[in-house]
Structure 1
Amino acid sequence: MEPVGLELKTSGQTEFMVDMKCEGCVSSVKNKLLNLEVGVKKVDVDLNNQVVRVLGSSSVKAMLDGMEQTGRRARLIGQGIPEGPHVVAPQISRFQPLWPNSRPSCLGIVRLVQVNMELARIEASFSGLTPGKHGWAINEFGDLTRGVASTGKVFNPGDQATSEEPLGDLGTLDADGNGEAQFSSSKRTLRVADLIGRSIAVYETEGKSSTGVAAAVIARSAGVGENYKKLCTCDGLTIWESR
């Protein structure tokens, strides 16, 4: 695994809906993003649609935190590569307590984006974990009927079978004293398009054979330019009421 932001080739485009009212809002948001420590190469703002497009490799969390520090609400609406032959829509996994005996307080979200044909970017945010290290991995199946136990082995396609570490091994999450964990890295040879319908599992300890505490199915998420709606027709919530 490689830390995101160390290589320019991990750059992609990320789109946010930001609650902006005027050119002053635009300047404030743009300046904040351009002054993040690493990773932001270009910022475009569409005030009419309240959309901010960021080109670079900074983490989603860092960008969201930065924009919200300006006093404006911001929501992620899309990720991907806007041009080129290797465009792959991002994938997302949302962790919620959906099966019996799952840890009721464990919530999280994982985003996977193909930045080029040889490199995938992975970002995750969790809460409700026990403090300490937790192994996590992409597993073969998206079957959550028995939680982590029914998700199969760590994903490892045939062309990776001789590798010491399975391709789907994501290493460890380090939960702080509040049970929160953040993760931002990249992984070579991982093809995001091959992961739809599989699962991501989090374990009680660093070992991938220990008791599983949470799992979620990997599904397609919105790509660049695909999600400008501000009202969800499913539940009637506005984008600012959702998280």
Structure 2
Amino acid sequence: MELARIEANFNGLSPRKHGWSINEFGDLTNSAASTGKVYNPTSIAAKEPLGDLRTLEVDDKGEAFFSGVKEKLRVADLIGRSIVVYGSEDKSDSGVTAAVIARSAGVGENYKKICSCDGTTIWESSNNDFIPSKV
């Protein structure tokens, strides 16, 4: 069985529950609005799309942390797609922020800083564009 390990840190969000998902495209031209639908390979039938990550609990400081696994997802199939965080729990809006999924190291090997993906490519960014990982 395929299994993808997902670890994510968020800050600057409104304190409440937010829906989040893996979306089809890593196109951030129009922020989350250009990332397409929630990722769901056509060959897999499911009650909910495979890319549906349900909800994040954001604390009073606007921070959230997620660590878990998602079955039937292959990391190789996710590279270049996007993570989208929605303003609502039910994902009825176009999303408040998004980031491109990338992999620069093996699982558990990247204890460095992660790009907050504001649209600047990693090659154009400076140290001020990164946030420390909580891993």
What aligned pairs does 1:216-227 form with structure 2 within 5 A after superposition?
216-223=99-106
The change in CA–CA distance for 1:165 and 1:222 in structure 2 (over 3 A counts) is same
Give distance in 2, aligned partners of 1:139 and 1:133.
19
Which residue, out of 75, 78, 88, partners 1:205?
88
Give % identity.
67
Aligned position for 1:121: 5
Q: Confirm whether residue 139 of structure 1 aligns to residue 36 of structure 2.
A: no
Paired residue secondary structure (1:150): coil
Residues 186 and 235 of structure 1: is their aligned pair in 2 closer, same or farther, counting only changes over 3 Å? closer
The residue type paired with residue 7 of structure 2 is E
Asked which structure has the greater CA Rg, the reply is 1
The 1:176–1:223 alpha-carbon spacing in structure 2 relative to 1, beyond 3 Å, is: same
Cα distance change on mapping 1:235 and 1:208 into 2, 3 Å: closer
Counterpart pick for 1:151 among 26, 35, 38: 35
Q: 2:79 aligns with which of 196, 206, 214?
A: 196
Equivalenced residues, count: 116
TM-score (norm 2): 0.76
Deviation readout 1:57-111 (Å, 9 max, x if unpaired):
xxxxxxxxxxxxxxxxxxxxxxxxxxxxxxxxxxxxxxxxxxxxxxxxxxxxxxx
- TM-score calculated relative to the size of structure 1: 0.44
- 1:235–1:178: structure 2 CA closer, same or farther, 3 Å change rule? closer
For residues 137 and 235 of structure 1, the distance between their equivalents in structure 2, rounded to whole angstroms, comes to 25
3-state SS of paired residue (1:194): helix
CA displacement at 1:236 relative to structure 2: 9.4
Structure 1 unmatched ranges of 5 or more: 1-116, 228-233
Q: C-alpha displacement at 1:123, in angstroms?
A: 1.1
* Displacement after TM superposition at 1:235 (Å): 8.3
RMSD: 2.5
Deviations 1:24-73 (A, max 9, x none): xxxxxxxxxxxxxxxxxxxxxxxxxxxxxxxxxxxxxxxxxxxxxxxxxx
Q: Quick one: higher RCO (CA 8 Å, sep 6+), 1 or 2?
A: 2
State the distance in 2 between where 1:213 and 1:148 align: 7
**Structure 1 counterpart of 2:92, which letter?**
S
Question: In the superposition, relative to structure 1, how do residues 131 and 149 fare at CA in structure 2: closer, same or farther (>3 Å)?
Answer: same
Q: 1: distance between equivalents of 2:72 and 2:19? A: 20
Which residue identity does 2:15 align to in structure 1?
P
